[in-house]
Structure 1
Amino acid sequence: MSKPHSGLSSEATEKARLELNENPDTLHHDIQQVRDMIVTRPDIGFLRTDDDFILRFLRARKFNQSESFRLLSQYFLFRQQHLHIFHSFKVDDPGIKRALMDGFPGVLETPDQHGRKILLLFASNWDQNRHSFMDILRAILLSLEVLIENPELQVNGFVLIIDWSNFSFKQASKLTPNVLRLAIEGLQDSFPARFGGIHFVNQPWYIQAMYTIIKPFLKDKTRKRIYLHGNNLTSLQQLIGVECLPSEFGGSLPPYDVGLWARTLLGPDYSDESEYTLTYDALHVINRYGISPWSQSVVEPGTLKSADRETSTPLLALD
């Protein structure tokens, strides 16, 4: 039998005990209790059910077994219902690759003071002629799949910073209710990650208006973790130490290299002109980020039932 608790430092082990109700003595029992619930959902194809995989859902829901199973079910149901997102779900897919190369997302090597991995999105880098919002969402989901393999991040979680500087009204008008609900469903309701904070920086009025519109779709816990800083970098720095932030946010780290995470996934020989066929379980990713190989959760085309796609109108309409 696998040892799902291996890989945690003593500090993370204690944090998991205090914050997540994780008990090493009952770990295998807790996992099996969730696994036993799978028979209650014959409509869902559970493509991965090993101990380590189920454990991340227990950690995401503080070892509430019924809530953990609900999240596990939603994870695979979301993939069943949105096959277009997970078709060719790998780093060398052209759309995902372009999004990664443009920094969607960025991932800092230095965690914050709580051990949480910091993800960055510079919204104005969205070139709608180069990649779609769906490609950006796919790149974010794939990046999280890579990162969540690290048991420490299952315990410590993530922080997301979105810089809206120079994000135009025209760009914002392309964010439809449909794609925003899809992103919320994929990240909030269907993925086993702990988000300690979602920080909006330099957001214009129309982004604040958009947030007001989507707020009803957010869980109360999510709403409490969204911070609208505007131009006040001091409030951001009070929540994330300056020693953990790049200079764009008034931090002591060098300016963020937008291609850093893409190069990490694509390999040491990455260049903008090259084409790659590597997948994200390459050894350089494992060595650099302490991540083990992962490929079992990828949904292959045709494995699950497809769902109809909706059309939608812009959230913010241009006159």
Structure 2
Amino acid sequence: MSEKCEMEFDAEIQKFAQENLNETKENRENGMKEITRWLIEEKPNLNARLEPRYIIPFLRLSKFNIEDAKVRLINYYNLRRDNAIWFTNRDPKLPELEEIIKLGVFVPLKQLYKNQMVVIIRTAAHNPKIHSQETIFKVDHMILDVAALFEFEIAQIFGLISVFDMNGVTFWHAKALTPNIVKRAVAAWQHYHIASKSYEFINSPGYLNVILNIFKSFMTDSMKKSTKVHSNGLKSLHTFVDKEILPEEYGGSAGKLEDLINFWHDKVLSKRDWFLEDNKYRSD
């Protein structure tokens, strides 16, 4: 998205956005004008970013209903305030943060699936005795910010597929997912600047239903309907994501997982100045 509020997709994508999100040049311009006025004159306490890059996603989520977009923006900047531990001190060169990025807990694929961004969340890639769940979620949001705001704007239109790989989850991983932190995580999914269209849990043994039930207890009905638990390993994954865009470790042909992790490591580090400046954008 250019800072002139222009849509830079081909005619087919623009048609889809118009038919499904009410996105037109006129609606973008009117929405930006009103939201910017509202943020400056009525909601300076949100300390919100005013560029189109950071406002258009919420208009898209609202199908360009301006009043709904305002509510979403309030929820988002309150989320950043109430979970400051996730949205401050996000220097990707901090040793702990860089280490977690390199572990590959949160790994978007480099190719889209039906114009949707696919993220593999490797829930057991870290050692919960070393890295806190709060810090894990901080890094997750850092990578998602880079992917959704700078790399795959198209996914703001078509959405996100969240793949939770539960392979290797231990008692200690489960213990770190307290009801409080799960509640906040689910709220973040609801209030972020990109919509997850499905939550797919793979390699999920039966005993993990306890954890999944905690997540579901905080989900909306629509989120519950979008949540699927798969017990057939990688075969299940291949039913909803093409093999061709998956790394080799997931039965695909898109290169090594390590290379994918390194790709996102470099992308996040390239946005270091942006992260340092981004700390201040949250509600008072």
TM bucket, shorter chain: 0.7 to 0.9
In the TM superposition, what are the counterparts of 1:60-99 in structure 2 within 5 Å? Answer: 60-99=61-100
Q: Deviation digits for residues 95-121 of structure 1, max 9, x if unmatched?
A: 321211100211221221x12222112
Letter in 2 for 1:158: L
Q: CA deviation at 1:91?
A: 1.5
Compute the TM-score of the two structures, normalised by the length of structure 2: 0.86
In the TM superposition, what are the counterparts of 1:1-319 in structure 2 within 5 Å? Answer: 2-38=3-39, 39-41=41-43, 44-112=45-113, 114-150=114-150, 151-189=153-191, 191-257=192-258, 260-266=260-266, 279-281=269-271, 294=274, 298-300=278-280, 305=284
Q: CA deviation at 1:72?
A: 1.0
Q: Percent identity?
A: 22
Alpha-carbon contact 1:149-1:294 (below 8 Å) kept: no
**In structure 2, C-alpha distance between the alignment counterparts of 1:55 and 1:116, rounded to whole Å:** 18
Letter in 2 for 1:129: K
**In structure 1, C-alpha distance between the alignment counterparts of 2:54 and 2:215, rounded to whole Å:** 31
Segments of structure 2 that go 5 or more residues without pairing to the other structure are none
Q: CA deviation at 1:174?
A: 2.1
Large movers: runs of 4+ above 6 Å: none
**In structure 1, C-alpha distance between the alignment counterparts of 2:276 and 2:46, rounded to whole Å:** 13
Q: Does the C-alpha gap of structure 1 residues 170 and 296 become closer, same or farther in structure 2, counting only changes over 3 Å?
A: closer
Q: Does the C-alpha gap of structure 1 residues 154 and 5 become closer, same or farther in structure 2, counting only changes over 3 Å?
A: farther
Q: How many residues align?
A: 280
Q: Does the C-alpha gap of structure 1 residues 248 and 199 become closer, same or farther in structure 2, counting only changes over 3 Å?
A: farther
Segments of structure 1 that go 5 or more residues without pairing to the other structure are 268-277, 283-292, 306-319
Correspondence for 1:274: none
Letter in 1 for 2:49: R
Compute the TM-score of the two structures, normalised by the length of structure 1: 0.78
**In structure 2, C-alpha distance between the alignment counterparts of 1:91 and 1:296, rounded to whole Å:** 9
Q: Does the C-alpha gap of structure 1 residues 166 and 2 become closer, same or farther in structure 2, counting only changes over 3 Å?
A: closer
Alignment RMSD (CA, Å): 2.7
**In structure 2, C-alpha distance between the alignment counterparts of 1:296 and 1:36, rounded to whole Å:** 26
**In structure 2, C-alpha distance between the alignment counterparts of 1:10 and 1:265, rounded to whole Å:** 33
> SS at the partner of 1:230?
coil
**In structure 2, C-alpha distance between the alignment counterparts of 1:238 and 1:73, rounded to whole Å:** 37
**In structure 2, C-alpha distance between the alignment counterparts of 1:18 and 1:72, rounded to whole Å:** 23
Q: CA deviation at 1:295?
A: 5.3
Q: Does the C-alpha gap of structure 1 residues 281 and 212 become closer, same or farther in structure 2, counting only changes over 3 Å?
A: same
Letter in 1 for 2:33: Q
Q: CA deviation at 1:18?
A: 2.0
